[in-house]
Amino acid sequence: MTVGEAILAGEAQLSAAGIESGRLEVEMMLAQLRDEPRLQLWIRRDEPLTPGQGEKLRDWLARRTSREPLQHILGWAPFLDFELYVTRDVLVPRPETETLAQLAIARLGGVASPRVLDWGTGSGCLALAVAKAVPVAEVHALDLSPDALRIARANATAYRLADRIRFHQGDGFESLAAHGDTAALRFDLIVTNPPYIPAAEVETLQPEVRDFDPRLALTDGADGLGCYRRLAAEAPIWLKPGGWLLAEFGDGQSPALIELFGQAGWSIEGVEKDLSGRDRVLIVRAPVCD
């Protein structure tokens, strides 16, 4: 089978499985298998695949037909200018979260030697984005899952940022308490993409998300607002006066979050939309703590 024939056959197979971007995904598979840019594939469309390439492509197409995410098959996911290692232990980074990262980075521009916390780091995408864009920042990343932290550390090492990020394993802010005086570890900014899918909606998600992303990263097992309630109550003592909290949230959750944080004394700076025009990021500033 030639490269061109493989693209057409693979596209037909994925389209039959309900995958709309079949052509692009087959091209990405072949580009990785052949270790060449996608644009080269059609230039070399008459070249035959090696037996090994053909066998691997058949395996990958079968996995993708079962709706395993392409990112898991390839072993990486794009995020800003990173290619991050991902497995079933972490949420696959989404384009929406790139908006969150960029908003966080923008607010650190005028802060001297800022200290930043990525609350629920997962793959480490937010922590890495901040560490790379703001070299003077002291970045901390925490997660309940030791497996997720293993992935995040691997990504930090791959991009030579491991010495810029301090990782903490544990249940939220409790993982920071072991470091002693809270006042000595206050942050200028907390950024988070917490689990926000209501439990009742999980079964309606696309198979790639429902069956392959870790449930711990998708839902709090209730109404999807549990982590925000915790952040509204617990985060103020971990932020410097006037410090920011930027949080990604789900469709339709904006009014409830504005009310929740407002009642807890936070200053509501605004809600930002993602690239699709949906409300996606809540920006609040810490209430004054004694």
pTM value is 0.93
Contact 270, 276 (CB under 8 A): no
Q: In the chain, what percentage of residues exceed pLDDT 90?
A: 90
Residue 9 has pLDDT above 60, yes or no: yes
DSSP labels for 148-178? HHHHHHHHHHHTT-GGGEEEEESSTTHHHHT
pLDDT value of position 179: 59
Residue 181 has pLDDT above 60, yes or no: no
Q: Give 176 or 89, the one with higher predicted confidence.
A: 89
- How far is Cα 276 from Cα 58, in angstroms, rounded to an integer? 34
Contact 120, 241 (CB under 8 A): no
**Helices assigned H by DSSP within the chain:** 3-16, 22-34, 38-43, 51-65, 70-74, 95-107, 125-133, 146-158, 174-177, 207-210, 215-218, 226-234, 254-263
Q: Which of 202, 216, 210, 196 is nearest to 282 (CA)?
A: 196
